[in-house]
Structure 1
Amino acid sequence: MRTRAMRSVSLLAAVVALGLAVSGCGGQPDGHAGRDAAVAAHRARQVAAAWDGSAAAAAWRVGYHPMGDVIQLPRGGLRSKADEQAYQDHSFVLQGKLPATGSKDSRVAWAGGASLTRPLAGAEESYKTLSGGRGGGQPHLTVTGAKLGTITVTTSRGPATVPAWLFTVDGYASPLKQAAVAPSKLPQPPLGQARDVPGYPLNQLVKIAADGRSVTVVALHGVCDDGPAVEVLETSGSVVLSSSVQHRKDGGYCTKQAKLQQVTVKLERPLGNRVLLDAHTGQPVPYKPEHGPSPSWS
């Protein structure tokens, strides 16, 4: 196992006012920074050792854990700013009848023949996820029907063919698709959250590159430091990410504001079915779509 430090890309995702004590984030003595790095590296090794070969890792690898969007917009995307706003606001109106489905299971399938049976969500239940369980305002998207089909979803085990409801949306020639099976339950992590380890937990996984050679995550840092840095520890069974901040050399007072910033981390080999872990929490880094809850962590 070896650790490589990766510098962040400068892409601001959001700015939040958090009650985090990030004051005093100017310069640090070299010895203090060195001790912080050693503590963080030790924690990453602990996380990797706890997960590699564990029951939690085994459960993760045989489950259905979406790591990419479970909703696919109509071909070509939404046609106007108003429709984009309606989608972001979960503003939908149902005009028509949705098909009734009894309680039954359905199949998630991976390339190579692996598959998993999961409970099938009904069309009405899936529609409520889209609409947030409320009526649409202005602007809104109008759903006129649905039928059962499939979509391809990025998962912790690679791309999977997943049953999906194909919703007909007024004004669009192709459907809006939503995965219709529930994710597997998250395994109990083999160790707890870190205490007194420098840095912050990673906020979310944004995407995994198509070739699996990089991952983009959201990291937290203060408004007066030089941005987040993410170190990576790769083993045969896991990839452990440790987020820290790059301290400014000039010192000075720092407020309690913080920023969420996207960081792209390159890997020495494709992620594959290795577990992507956050060193601080000791848990898989949660995937969260731009709009709506995580399909696995909600």
Structure 2
Amino acid sequence: MLVGVVVLGGGCGARPAPAPAPVGDSPERLRQQARDALDRYDRAVAAAGGSQGVVVVGERTGQVGTWEDDNVMFKAALSAGKVTATGPLPAAPRAEGEVTWDGGGSRTVAIVAAAEALAELVGDGAGDCPQCAPIEVTGARLGTARIRTTRGPATAPAWEFTVRGSAVVVTRVAFAASSGVQVEPPPWDANHPPGGLSIDTATVTGPGTTLTAQFVGAPRPATGPCGVDYTAEAVESANAVVVIVVEHPFPGEHACNALGGQRTATVQLAAPLGERAVLEVKQGTPVPVTVE
């Protein structure tokens, strides 16, 4: 099994002279952390029937339109999952639908009833807005929504919920989260926190073997004090790639502002990414991928 790892440093605060990497971010520990992440992902794929299907990254709930001034608390209510139906919601008008990727390809998914989709929306909510009145859903129709996935942006079947007292339409993907790969991050251990630095997104170009990871790092290159250059190495499995970004700071001790900037590091994969996921190294969870 190969493991793709990206190790990144922030380049902030006083920077000491070069010294051995701390135990928590030692290359071997990070590689083992990545191997563990790949093992968890492999088990999740097996539990999903051996196929990755459609792996949604980020929110499965969205909206069309902007909340009106009189409904400013609806944003917090939606985030908290405080949404309720005022009456019966429709069943799925058909059994299946298609998720279509911008870069080509599609996947058939089973469509759930509107009430089931709404229940998942409520279950995903943080539930921490006691001052929020529930949003009242008055109806639903099956449409589409844009989603981010491990294979790039896609258009998916989605329920469109109308809301009492607002022109905003709340959307929710119309296939169950349980139908795809579900990755459980490792339990948090304050005495042994995960090392490395999480990447935010990844872009794949060419024949699918050039992967560029995007992350927050030092805002300047290592051509002067407080600057950092970054490289990446990749180790791969059949189902995923974990990326470790390695920092190369400007030598010496410097007082640096705690500022971050968008940075990238590029790595050549041993095989085209294909339908494999890209995982961040801390929790081993998928990141959005763009295919160019």
Per the normalisation by structure 1, the TM-score is: 0.56
Change (3 A) 1:31 1:152: closer
Q: Which residue of 1 aligns with 2:29?
A: 40
Paired with 1:178 and 1:35, the residues of 2 have a C-alpha distance of 39
Q: Which residue of 2 aligns with 1:91?
A: 82
| 2:63 is the counterpart of 1:73 | yes
Paired with 2:52 and 2:180, the residues of 1 have a C-alpha distance of 11
After superposition, the C-alpha distances for 1:119-159 in whole angstroms (9 at most, x for unaligned) are 2111011122233499x984221211110001111111111
| Cα deviation, residue 71, structure 1 | 1.3
User: Alignment length, in residue pairs?
Assistant: 239
What does residue range 216-227 of structure 1 map to in structure 2 within 5 Å?
A: none
What is the DSSP-based 3-state SS (H/G/I as helix, E as strand, rest coil) of the residue aligned with 1:168? strand
Q: Which residue of 2 aligns with 1:164?
A: 158
| Cα deviation, residue 5, structure 1 | 4.6
Contact 2:25 2:196 in 1 (8 A): no
- Identity across matched positions, percent: 24
Change (3 A) 1:125 1:241: same
Change (3 A) 1:188 1:82: closer
Contact 1:214 1:264 in 2 (8 A): no
> What RMSD in Å do the two structures reach over aligned CA positions?
5.4
Paired with 1:140 and 1:35, the residues of 2 have a C-alpha distance of 44
| 2:267 is the counterpart of 1:277 | no
Paired with 1:205 and 1:35, the residues of 2 have a C-alpha distance of 18
What is the DSSP-based 3-state SS (H/G/I as helix, E as strand, rest coil) of the residue aligned with 1:176? strand
After superposition, the C-alpha distances for 1:222-259 in whole angstroms (9 at most, x for unaligned) are xxxxxxxx984336886424599xxxxxxxxxxxxxxx
| Letter of the 2:279 counterpart | L
| Letter of the 1:65 counterpart | V
Q: Which residue of 2 aligns with 1:144?
A: 138
| 2:108 is the counterpart of 1:117 | yes
Contact 2:96 2:111 in 1 (8 A): yes
Paired with 1:140 and 1:45, the residues of 2 have a C-alpha distance of 41
| Cα deviation, residue 36, structure 1 | 5.4
Paired with 1:153 and 1:169, the residues of 2 have a C-alpha distance of 21
Paired with 1:161 and 1:185, the residues of 2 have a C-alpha distance of 16
| Letter of the 1:111 counterpart | D
What does residue range 102-113 of structure 1 map to in structure 2 within 5 Å?
A: 104-111=95-102, 113=104
Change (3 A) 1:139 1:287: farther
Q: Which residue of 2 aligns with 1:268?
A: 266
Change (3 A) 1:74 1:204: farther
What is the DSSP-based 3-state SS (H/G/I as helix, E as strand, rest coil) of the residue aligned with 1:276? strand
After superposition, the C-alpha distances for 1:192-247 in whole angstroms (9 at most, x for unaligned) are 99xxxx75068987666899854459xxxxxxxxxxxx984336886424599xxx
After superposition, the C-alpha distances for 1:34-62 in whole angstroms (9 at most, x for unaligned) are 895242355378679989xxxx69x9885
Paired with 2:204 and 2:87, the residues of 1 have a C-alpha distance of 38
Structure 1 window deviating more from structure 2 (177-186 vs 272-281): it is 272-281
Change (3 A) 1:267 1:129: same
| Letter of the 1:151 counterpart | A
Change (3 A) 1:206 1:169: farther
Structure 1: 5+ residue runs without aligned partners? 11-26, 218-229, 245-261, 289-298
What does residue range 232-243 of structure 1 map to in structure 2 within 5 Å?
A: 232-234=232-234, 239-242=241-244
Contact 2:112 2:175 in 1 (8 A): yes
Contact 1:43 1:279 in 2 (8 A): no
What is the DSSP-based 3-state SS (H/G/I as helix, E as strand, rest coil) of the residue aligned with 1:85? helix
Contact 2:84 2:135 in 1 (8 A): yes
Paired with 1:97 and 1:272, the residues of 2 have a C-alpha distance of 42
